[in-house]
Amino acid sequence: MDTKSIIEKAVDDSLSAIAISDPLGKIIFVNNTFLRFWGYSSKDEVVGRLTNDFWIASDPQTNGIHSLPKTGSFLGELEAVKKNKSKFNCLAQVSISKSSSNEIQYIIFSILESSNQNTITDTIRETENYYSQILDSISDFIFCKDSDFKMTYVNQACADYFGQKKSDIIGTYDIPENKQEFIEEYHRIDSLIFKEGKQVKIEKEPHLGKDGFIRYFNTVKAPIRDQYGNIKELVAVARDITDSEDILGKLKLITEITSDYIYTAKIIDGEIFADWSSGNLSKIVGYTVEDIGKLGGWIKIIHPDDLGLVGNRVSEILQGKIGVSEYRVLAKNGEYIWIRDYSKPLVDEFGKLSKLIGASKNITLEKEAETKLKESNERFKASLEASFESIYFLSILKDNEGTIIDFLFTEMNEKGSKNLGVPKEELIGKRICELYPINLENGFFEQYKQVFLTKEPLEQDYTIPDGYYTPGYFHHIVLPTTDGVVIYNRNISDWVAKNKELETLVQVTNRQNERLREYTYITSHNLRAPIANILSLCNLLKDDPSDQSLVQMIESSAVQLDHMMRNLNELLTIEKDSLSLVKKEINVQKEIQNQLLLFVSDKSEHTKVNVSIPDDVVLYTIPVYFESIINNVLSNAFKYCSHKTIGHIQIEINESEEFVILSISDNGVGIDLEKYRSKMFKMNSRFHPNIEGKGMGLFLTKYQIESLGGKIEVESQVDKGTSFHLYFPKMSRMNI
């Protein structure tokens, strides 16, 4: 708002002489009445001179003016000096205007000739009426209170809000139906202003309206001082900020400079003719009031699509209705500008519509932002619906003590409502824990509450059990918002199933690799004996080709070798679906005898073997494992037999409730168990470096018998022999 233009229009025709100076007394403005009183013809003759050039004050009066920084105002008579040096007495009212930092900006002089008291009274009344009409045209609420918190003035906007007449409000205390805690806070701030004399700005002041809803106001309160500097009243300007559009405009006090402009118009015979506007009109649209008149009136630059709206508002004005309208006008530069226009028709002393006063605001940027926001909302909604996730917006619900007791659905995408099995319209506004108790049972409610309170996001996988609308596996991300949380939820059941399938394939691969390793160990370890045996027999056969017993032994060793190879091939055959090796029924005595045939050598001739196993003992086991276990233990028995005497190997069988126990004992070199027990069955462990071996036999034996569900125990003494006790589970028709 252009303060200088407002002052010029408001006071140029006033009966009071008005002058404004800077804090040092240098005149920056005078009105036409001042020129007339002092006999000057041009403002240029006065502006720039000191105020002391135009009157002579007595010492008390001079002191009174000099004490303005403290008192804020002065009222008294002065002796004025005209341009022709003649003098006259005048009544002067002097006041100061301060900035928000409490520094003096202007000194304002309002002067009347002392000889015309009636004129003074009439002028004061006229001035009050004029400014009252201006204040009544402002959309902000303006009111004054005394130190007892009693209303001394309200403008029309304030009275309209309360639904009462101005005269009914003036003289009353704070509205009784308001909340007590609100009133107590008003009084606290008001008392502070009367005590400290400083302006206070309240960003968000609550008030219980007559409709029972709480509205919020941006309020500025400032002290009003008398001529002695005492605070008698406070003035408050309040703006309703509850509605984002703020349709009552952005005007503050008329003395503040803003981007808005104000205007007046005459109403003659049902037609409206603009007659004045503040300077910012030309800055906004590029035209002055005179320019628009030459164009044929304001109606000529209104956007064609908005003519109907403006026509409706004109009809309301002619009915005496206050109102707001928004429309576009074509600026001088060829661009359309959005205008928000608050206007109020005024009546003359006979009750006839005679004038229009209004305040307008350029809201082009707001409209552009509104359009962009709308486009952004449309994009957001499109993204919401296109998302792979179910998305839910939840707001907190509190009890009377302020404790969060649930969350309310406020928005969601179609995928979200489909996931819950309920139409979106039936979910919005409903309580999530009340509809879906699983949120309490699984602790989701507490997690959501912590996300809101700590502002720390949450990301996790979880399971919905059978019995609910959409059981399965889910992954969700929970993010905090200003009034609750937003949940991004994705069904990962297919992913989990594929992952489990992958894990199964990995297990199969691991089992295959394990079997391949076993195959390698068994091949490299167990086949050495029969191959060595065949080679040894072949060498003997060279010496005596006609020895048929040697041929039979070679043939027997070859048959055993072939049998072992078939079992090894079976080890590598893993059924795709069962992941198991096939168990078979074997005759223990027969398998032992077959294994002994593999140890036919010169060394075996010096070793006696005694087998004490009934011929009807059978096991249900994996043949290749059994052969490998027996082969490894017998190999050690023959390898570490006594060098001093004939070797003895005893093979016998016993039973417990759970196991068939096969014991293989020798009288060989033995093992120092106190020294080597912890290493007995570890890979590459050897206890007799002077005897050939790889240190793999016992490691493989322990692994294989434990795979069958059994165990191996050892007893041994150095130079006395060793006994291995092999525990095989009793017959079971279950594969492993």
Torsion angle of C-alpha atoms 720, 724, 725, 727, degrees rounded to 10: 180
pLDDT tens figures, 123-157: 555 555 666 777 777 778 888 999 888 988 888 88
Q: So what's the pLDDT on residue 8? A: 61
Which comes out higher in pLDDT, residue 255 or 662? 662
pTM of the model: 0.31
Using DSSP's 3-state secondary structure scheme, residue 720 falls into: coil
Beta bridge partners of 93: 75, 110
Q: So what's the pLDDT on residue 711? A: 93
Q: Is the pLDDT of residue 674 over 60?
A: yes
Q: So what's the pLDDT on residue 611? A: 92
CA atoms within 13 A on the CB side of 135: 22
Which structure tokens are listed for 557? Answer: 């060793």
- Please check whether the two domains, 3-115 and 581-729, share a CATH topology: no
The secondary element (H helix, E strand) that includes residue 636 is helix 623-639
Q: So what's the pLDDT on residue 453? A: 92
**Mean pLDDT value of segment 116-124:** 52
Q: So what's the pLDDT on residue 172? A: 85
User: What distances in angstroms separate CA 254 from CA 137, 264, 455, 489, one per listed residue?
Assistant: 10, 14, 44, 54
Nearest CA-CA partner of 68 in 4, 11, 21, 12:
21
Q: Is the pLDDT of residue 264 over 90?
A: no
The percentage of residues in the chain with a pLDDT greater than 90, rounded to a whole number, is: 18
Domain 258-368 is found in CATH 3.30.450.20: yes
With bands split at pLDDT 50, 70 and 90, how would you rate the model's confidence at 249? Answer: very low
**Mean pLDDT value of segment 615-631:** 89
**Mean pLDDT value of segment 348-353:** 77
Using DSSP's 3-state secondary structure scheme, residue 91 falls into: strand
Which comes out higher in pLDDT, residue 375 or 19? 19
Q: Is the pLDDT of residue 278 over 60?
A: yes
Q: Is the pLDDT of residue 657 over 50?
A: yes
Residue 397 backbone dihedrals phi, psi, to 5 degrees: -125, 125
With bands split at pLDDT 50, 70 and 90, how would you rate the model's confidence at 349? Answer: low
> In 10 A of CB 460, how many CB atoms?
11
Torsion angle of C-alpha atoms 177, 178, 179, 184, degrees rounded to 10: -120
Nearby residues of 685 by Cβ (< 8 Å), 6 or more positions away: 676, 679, 695, 698, 699
Using DSSP's 3-state secondary structure scheme, residue 612 falls into: strand
pLDDT tens figures, 514-546: 656 665 666 655 566 667 667 776 777 777 776
Assigned CATH topology for domain 123-244? Beta-Lactamase (3.30.450)
**Mean pLDDT value of segment 400-428:** 87
pLDDT tens figures, 170-215: 888 866 667 888 888 888 999 999 988 889 988 888 888 777 788 8
Residue length of the chain: 736
Which structure tokens are listed for 647? Answer: 């070797």
Q: Is the pLDDT of residue 690 over 60?
A: no
Residue 576 backbone dihedrals phi, psi, to 5 degrees: -60, -40
Nearby residues of 508 by Cβ (< 8 Å), 6 or more positions away: 574, 576, 579
CA distance 283 to 456: 49
Q: So what's the pLDDT on residue 723? A: 93
Nearest CA-CA partner of 537 in 597, 601, 608:
601
Q: Which amino acid, residue 406? A: D
Q: Decide: 458 and 451 in contact? Cβ < 8 Å.
A: yes
Q: Is the pLDDT of residue 681 over 80?
A: no
**Mean pLDDT value of segment 162-174:** 84
> In 10 A of CB 405, how many CB atoms?
14
Q: So what's the pLDDT on residue 115? A: 57
The residue ranges of DSSP E strands in 603-701, in sequence order, are: 607-612, 618-621, 647-655, 659-666
Q: Specify which of 8-17, 237-246, 564-573, 644-653 reaches the highest per-range mean pLDDT.
A: 644-653
Tracing tokens 């429309």 back to the chain, one arrives at: 327
Residue 678 backbone dihedrals phi, psi, to 5 degrees: -70, -20
Estimate the crossing angle of helix 588-596 against helix 548-572, to 10 degrees: 120
With bands split at pLDDT 50, 70 and 90, how would you rate the model's confidence at 688? Answer: low
Estimate the crossing angle of helix 548-572 against helix 528-543, to 10 degrees: 160
CA distance 256 to 253: 6
Beta bridge partners of 654: 661
Sign of CA dihedral 602, 607, 608, 612: negative
The percentage of residues in the chain with a pLDDT greater than 70, rounded to a whole number, is: 76
pLDDT tens figures, 446-460: 999 999 999 999 988
With bands split at pLDDT 50, 70 and 90, how would you rate the model's confidence at 600? Answer: low
CA distance 132 to 150: 19
pLDDT tens figures, 304-347: 999 999 999 999 999 999 988 999 999 999 999 999 888 889 88
Q: So what's the pLDDT on residue 714? A: 92
Q: Specify which of 57-66, 148-157, 260-269 reaches the highest per-range mean pLDDT.
A: 148-157
Q: So what's the pLDDT on residue 244? A: 37
CA distance 538 to 558: 12
Q: Specify which of 347-361, 553-567, 590-604 reaches the highest per-range mean pLDDT.
A: 347-361
Domain 3-115: assigned CATH number: 3.30.450.20
With bands split at pLDDT 50, 70 and 90, how would you rate the model's confidence at 42? Answer: very high
pLDDT tens figures, 428-438: 988 988 888 88
Nearby residues of 611 by Cβ (< 8 Å), 6 or more positions away: 589, 592, 593, 596, 651, 652
Nearest CA-CA partner of 713 in 703, 700, 727:
727
Pairing of strands 231-240, 261-268: unpaired
Largest CA distance in the chain: 169
Assigned CATH topology for domain 581-729? Heat Shock Protein 90 (3.30.565)
Q: So what's the pLDDT on residue 39? A: 92
* CA 247 to chain CA centroid, nearest Å: 31
With bands split at pLDDT 50, 70 and 90, how would you rate the model's confidence at 255? Answer: very low
Q: So what's the pLDDT on residue 734? A: 46
Q: Decide: 410 and 484 in contact? Cβ < 8 Å.
A: yes
Nearby residues of 154 by Cβ (< 8 Å), 6 or more positions away: 141, 142, 143, 144, 166, 169, 170
Show me where the domains of the chain are located. 3-115, 123-244, 258-368, 581-729
| Of the listed ranges 154-163, 203-212, 258-267, 402-411, the one predicted with least confidence | 258-267
Report the chain's mean pLDDT, rounded to a whole number: 79
| Of the listed ranges 252-256, 352-356, 628-632, the one predicted with least confidence | 252-256
Which structure tokens are listed for 100? Answer: 């928000």
**Mean pLDDT value of segment 238-261:** 51
